[in-house]
Amino acid sequence: MSFKRTLSVAGLSLSLAGFASADIESGISASHNSDLLYRGALQGEDAFGFGYSASTSAGGLDWSLGLGHASSDATDVEHYTVGASTALSEGLDLSVGLSHRNASNFDNDSDVSVGLGTSLAGLDLSASIFFDIKDSDGDDYYELSASKHICLGGGLSATVAVTYGDDGAEDFTAVSVGLNKALSDDVNAGLGYTYLDSSQTDEDTVIGLSISVGL
């Protein structure tokens, strides 16, 4: 399981009982970041995160379920996700998802998401919209991203990404650089740096370390 997938999909393998006949990838991860960053908003410093991830393919779809927990000096957050994706055509993927986020000192979120992804000139491009289903007066959230994955050899790889997000009230642009080192077939260590330019927090940076283990 790749470092990127382990971090971005936090899953519950017990919830995959209906896919017992399918091959299931799962993994655990732990991270520490200088700040807890969520959709362009900084939500406390000295953030520790833990996740358990699972994914599988069944019925012509790629499925993922998730559970994650993060703690900063300002809040504790639990995040649950379930998603499915499929290829609409060669080079164009459709993804749908459902997520819920509980935060002790910030607003909770429940979203249904729809996204499109493709590759162009060596870049991975995606566009997603998250519809707020918890609060009828809540703002929907839009996100665009472009990323490039680079293999450096010796089990070392890098990912560079640019993300723009807008929830109708605030918007942000983030530039991220991540280094991943495969320590073994199932263990990866990562170092990440994010530069954030937000209408809510102005300019800031987030630095983080992580480790993931495939099960």
Pairing of strands 109-120, 92-103: antiparallel
Predicted confidence (pLDDT) per residue in 89-126, tens digit? 999 999 999 999 999 987 788 999 999 999 999 999 99
Contact predicate 210/27, CB 8 Å: no
Q: Is 107 left (phi over 0), alpha (psi -120 to 50) or beta?
A: beta
pLDDT (tens digit per residue) in 18-69: 555 568 999 999 999 999 999 998 999 999 999 999 999 999 999 999 999 9
**pTM: predicted TM-score of the whole model, two decimal places:** 0.85
Q: Give the per-residue SS3 of 23-90.
A: CEEEEEEEEEEEEEEECCEEEEEEEEEEEEEEEEEECCEEEEEEEEEEECCCCEEEEEEEEEEEEEEC
* Distance of alpha carbon 177 from alpha carbon 77, whole angstroms: 24
For the stretch 136-160, pLDDT in tens is: 556 799 999 999 999 999 999 999 9
CA 48 to chain centre: 15
| Pairing label, strands 202-214, 187-198 | antiparallel
Architecture of domain 3-214: Beta Barrel (2.40)
Give the alpha-carbon dihedral of 182, 188, 189, 194, to 10 degrees: 100
Cα gap 65→56, rounded to integer Å: 9
